[in-house]
Amino acid sequence: MNNFKFIGIILMFGIFLSCNNDDGPTQEQEAQELNQMFSEIESLANSEKCIDSEEWTFTSYGSKACGGPVGYIAYSTNIDTELFLQKIEEHRVAQEEFNEKWGMISDCSLPPEPIGVICENESPVFEY
- Number of domains composing the chain: 1
CA distance 40 to 27: 20
Residue 87: inside a domain? yes
**Is the residue at 15 inside a domain?**
no
pLDDT for res 6: 37
The pLDDT confidence band at residue 8, using thresholds 50, 70 and 90, is very low
Classify residue 2: in a domain, yes or no: no
Residue type, 121: N
Provide the Cα torsion 118, 124, 125, 127; round to 10°: 40
- The range of the structural domain enclosing residue 122 comes to 27-127
Residue 17 inside a domain? The answer is: no
Please report whether residue 8 resides in a domain. no
Q: What are the start-end ranges of the H helices in the chain? A: 2-18, 27-45, 81-102
| Residue 52 in domain | yes
Task: Convert the pLDDT of each residue in 63-116 to its tens digit.
Answer: 999 999 999 999 999 999 999 999 999 999 999 999 999 999 999 999 999 999
In a domain, 53, yes or no: yes
Task: Kindly report the average pLDDT of the chain as a whole number.
Answer: 88
**Residue 82 within a domain:** yes
